[in-house]
Amino acid sequence: MEADLHPEVLFADDHLLVIAKPAGLLSLPDGWNPGLPHARSVLEPAWGRLWVVHRLDKATSGVMLLARTAEAHRALNAQFAAREIRKTYHAIVFGVPEWQQRMVNLRLSPNRGRRKRTVVDRRGQEARTVLRVLRRFGAFSLMEAVPHTGRRHQVRVHLFAAGFSIVNDPLYGEATDDHPLPIHRLALHARRLEFRHPVTGEPLALTAPHPPDFAAALENLEAYGDLYESSGRR
């Protein structure tokens, strides 16, 4: 097991385990190769039986919530179903928006075509995401995305539909290293998760620090961002 696939524990008690998932670690077992490392296989030797409450894409880093009992799992699933859990993502994107904040309200349909992409579809499922610009760096921006629904690849598709694809996104943009940033995976990070404790009802808010590659990309942009020419994206 590679050391960098071991998650940082952000919070733990008898009912919950909240981790900062590293990019490269699967949330769930791979259907084709179940021997690949995933969250439970890495964590259960130390923490015992775990239930995955929600998933992050393999290339996405950040806050991930697991339950330590079946009862906690059911209670947390109910919060997700009722849209009571707030998720906040950070993304480094190509382009510089003229606006500061925008609601993207575009219906989505998953698993379309050979590549199983999620697509904008007026007959699809309701999907809403609030986008906010945190920083502008020449040809790039740091964006905050808060999805109000939980569709597959929602943040990635809504950013792409708004004209600002995430750096290194192989499905919704340009998966290329033809850029100056020292990050070589999807530049998406699950920054913060807010929910109620499934037993006590206490409000909890857990934040995952930017991992080294994401932080290095931001440091590069802080130092050199104004020197990068516009990419021509909206």
CATH of 3-227, one of 3.40.50.300, 3.40.920.10, 3.30.2350.10, 3.90.650.10: 3.30.2350.10
- On whether the CB atoms of residues 205 and 196 are closer than 8 A, the answer is no
Q: Is 57 a residue of the active site?
A: yes
Q: Which of 4, 13, 57, 213 is catalytic?
A: 57
Q: Which two tokens stand for residue 13?
A: 């008690």
pTM for this structure?
0.93
pLDDT by residue for the chain (234 residues), tens only, comes to 344 788 999 999 999 999 999 999 999 998 888 889 999 999 999 999 999 999 999 999 999 999 999 999 999 999 999 999 999 999 999 999 999 999 999 999 997 877 789 999 999 999 999 999 999 998 999 999 999 999 999 999 999 999 999 999 999 986 566 788 999 999 999 999 999 999 999 999 999 999 999 999 999 999 987 777 654 443
- On whether the CB atoms of residues 166 and 172 are closer than 8 A, the answer is yes
Scanning the chain, the segments in alpha helix (DSSP H) are 39-47, 70-81, 154-161, 212-224
